[in-house]
Structure 1
Amino acid sequence: MVAAGITIVSEPSCLSSLSGMAAVADDFSISFLLSVALSYGGFLSESYFDERISWIQYPVRRLVTTCLVYFVYVFCTSFIIIFLYSLLIKERFTPGNIPWKDLVAWTWFPMQVAFVLSFIFISRSFLMEWKKAAIEAEQLKTEQLAQQYQSLKDQLNPHFLFNSLNVLSNLVYENQDTAARFIGQLSRIYRYVLDVQQEELVAVSREAGFAESYLSLQKMRFEDALQYRINVPETAGYLPPLSLQLLLENAIKHNIASSEQPLCIEISAEDGCLMVRNNLQMKTSQPNESAGIGLSNIRKRYELLSDKAIEIGNNDGYFTVRLPVLTRIYDKNSPVAQL
């Protein structure tokens, strides 16, 4: 294509007849040879500098160096090809009578073609490296977010175990039979904690089932002082793992629970959210061992996974937290969120 274009530009009358086309056959050959040499040189120069000078880090140096090397190559190559063509094929001069000025002038047109080719090669090289850099930056961002999310999840395992052991230590002295049943139930619950440790999301039904097991575990300790109701009928979607457990744990930890003042907890599905609500009867002194990671942990995990945020309310004597139910296709293109 390049050779045909050069030939037509040089001799536009060649298209008028077959004899005209035959007359420029030699010119087409030299044009083809030049176009191959120019294209191959552009490819080689870009490949060479792609490994040595980055467009992203040193754009000016890369542009100047690439253009300088390529145009020197084009001039030398064109000069040699035109010299041999004029001497051996066209016989325009003899070895003893070489028109150096004319040969230099004849390289002007290949240099113009080289300018167009260099623009194409440079644009392609720059776009390819920019795309590669963008992909690498996105991968790095993904890794950083994944590590950040994993660190948040890693908080849950020891946090859950620590608080459960504190409860167990009290039960051992109060009621050994209850403590034994507590240990059995705790082992089953802790199996779930280990199973979901490496998951970004778990099904709402699994979280609701775990909440049921967790509350029944606490029921062994508090008996009539704790009342709960779970109403999550076939709710599709997903939640960050152990979100419900953290909310339930906070409710039990920070509120009075007694036979005279039972703590009532309700979990229900409402408008694309899972709502956790408990009556407010705050303790006068809060536990010192509270790590304060409950609501903060859930909020940060939602920020990494979606543009939906948890909603917290404190109205009419009730503390309410609404957890948006997520899907496998999230609301923003978070790298952590793409499973």
Structure 2
Amino acid sequence: MKKYLTIILVGFLLGMLTYGFLGFAQEEDNTKLLWLSGLLGVIIAYINTIFNELFNKFISWKKYTGFRLLTGVLSNTIISFLLISIVLYGYTFVKDTPNSFIEDYSEIILKLIILMFFMALVYNVIYFAIHSYYQYAKGQIIALQLERKQTELQLRALKSQLSPHFLFNSMNTISSLVFSDVQKAESFIRELAKSYQYILNKYESKWLTVEEELQFVNSYHFLLQTRFNDRINLEIVLPDWVLKSKIPPLALQMLIENAVKHNQMTSSQILKISITCDNSDICVTNNKTARPEGIDSFKIGLGNIRSRYELIFNRAITVVDDERFTVKLPVII
């Protein structure tokens, strides 16, 4: 509504200014002509606005600033000149002097062309400034929205790691180790502390290197091995260049956690997880064992990782669910 009121006000004002500039003040019934000129100004302002919005769809101000400005100035000048000329010709026709239109109004036509050009130039410069400001403001709002969504996803990932179920299992493991293997219990507590320190330090980061993430994965794997002994096996084979690539924090760990959550582990059913690379993706693969009953899930997992890759890197992950379960994370350099 504010936009259209501005168009009406500016168009009406420019119409009346154009009327005065072209020297119609001596005409009879100039009050009526003044109002008609204001109305014509509103119509021209609307038409030029429609054309400018149409040009914005096909010609980017950001990429082709000069060309877009030239297009706007020329089109607005031509449109305004043609509409006013048609109205002037109609006015002379009503006065029964159409044959002398060029002669009688040659000076006015020249003044009209000059006036329309400078008005179009000023209008498009102001339009560009306002358009740039709104695009910048819109970009800032989108950036804040994305940042907020990213924070929400990171907090959901953190919630997964701080879950009572995970803490309960860890405390039970420590309790049993204290009486059977004090040294191993000490190592477990140290790795658990390192895991939580990593989570608290890194969960706010949008991304980190694969090498940093693997440090946490190794600590997490130690905790799992302590709980499940030889019933879980993790193999990591990644080239050096992949270690320097980017990854959302907790992504690899969450995939390992999902594998543990959705597969039973016994002496005859060993869970084997591998982290490898196929040039374009980091592949996290696990075999399938019997599915445990009553799986407790916060419904994050793959959805959380997928959303963060799309949000941060504008890339998609791939899930292959056949004889083995594989999640492919794009390598981000």
TM-score, normalisation: structure 1: 0.65
Equivalent residue for 1:259, pick from 251, 255, 267:
267
1:212 maps to 2:214: no
SS in 1 for 2:162: helix
Alignment of 1:285 with 2:283, yes or no, is no
Q: 2:166 matched to which residue of 1? A: 164
The yes-or-no answer on 1:310 pairing with 2:317 is: yes
Any residues of structure 2 matched to 1:221-300 within 5 Å, and which? Answer: 221-234=227-240, 235=242, 236-288=244-296, 290-300=297-307
Offset of 1:66 from its aligned partner? 4.5
Q: CA deviation at 1:59?
A: 5.3
Show CA shifts across 1:263-301 (max 9, x none). 11111122221111111013241323x111011100111
Aligned partners of 1:311, 1:197: CA distance in 2, in Å? 23
CA distance in 2, matches of 1:57, 1:254: 58
Partner AA of 2:170 in structure 1: L
Name the residue aligned to 2:32. none
Match of 2:44 in 1: none
Deviation at 1:256?
Answer: 0.8
The answer as to 2:7 corresponding to 1:60 is yes
Aligned equivalent of 2:148:
147
Q: Structure 1 residues 240 and 62 mapped into 2: Cα distance closer, same or farther (>3 Å)?
A: farther
**Contiguous gaps of at least 5 residues in structure 2:** 27-104
- Give distance in 2, aligned partners of 1:282 and 1:151: 33
Q: CA deviation at 1:303?
A: 1.5
In the alignment, the residues of structure 2 paired with residue 267 and residue 323 of structure 1 have an alpha-carbon distance, to the nearest angstrom, of 10
Describe how 1:74-85 pairs up with structure 2 within 5 A. Answer: none
| Superposed CA offset, 1:101-147 (max 9, x none) | xxxx9x95766633332121112212221221122112111111111
Say if 1:257 and 1:267 are closer, same or farther in 2 by CA, change over 3 A. same
Task: Provide the rounded CA distance (Å) in 2 between the counterparts of 1:191 and 1:284.
Answer: 30
2: CA distance, partners of 1:250 / 1:260? 20
**Equivalent in 181, 192, 210 of residue 186 of structure 1:** 192
| TM-score normalised per structure 2 | 0.66
* Partners of 2:308 and 2:4 in 1: CA distance: 34
Separation in structure 1 between the aligned mates of residue 5 and residue 192 of structure 2, nearest angstrom: 60
Structure of larger gyration radius:
1
* Runs (5+) with no aligned partner, structure 1: 1-52, 80-104, 328-339
Amino acid at match of 1:221: R
Q: State the alpha-carbon separation in 2 of the partners of residues 282 and 307 from structure 1.
A: 35
Q: Sort the Cα spacing of 1:156 and 1:124 in 2 relative to 1 into closer, same or farther, 3 A.
A: same
8 Å Cα contact 1:254-1:286 kept in structure 2: no
CA distance 1:263–1:125, change in 2 (3 Å): same
CA deviations on 1:292-326 (whole Å, 9 max, x unpaired) are: 1011100111111234211111222x111111111
How big is the shift at 1:174? Answer: 3.5
Deviation larger for 290-299 or 186-195? 186-195
- Give 3-state SS (helix, strand or coil) of 2:204's partner: coil
Question: Hey, what's the Cα distance between the residues in 1 that align with 2:331 and 2:314?
Answer: 12
**Distance in 2 separating the partners of 1:161 and 1:325:** 28
* Compared CA separation, residues 62 and 167, structure 1 to 2 (3 A): farther
Q: Distance in 2 between matches of 1:160 and 1:284?
A: 20
How many residues were matched structurally?
Answer: 246
- Contact kept, 8 Å, 1:203 with 1:239, in 2: the verdict is yes
Root mean square deviation, CA, Å: 2.8
Go from structure 1 to structure 2 and tell me whether the alpha carbon gap of 1:154 and 1:64 turns closer, same or farther (over 3 Å shift): same
Asked if structure 1 preserves the Cα contact closer than 8 Å seen for 2:233 and 2:270, the reply is yes
**2:172 & 2:16 partners in 1: Cα distance?**
80
Letter in 2 for 1:217: L
Q: In the superposition, relative to structure 1, how do residues 124 and 314 fare at CA in structure 2: closer, same or farther (>3 Å)? A: same
Indicate if the aligned counterparts of 2:174 and 2:189 stay in contact, CA closer than 8 A. no
Residue 326 (structure 1) aligns with: 332
Partner of 2:138: 137
Distance 2:144 2:246 in 1: 22
Aligned residue for 1:61, secondary structure, equals helix
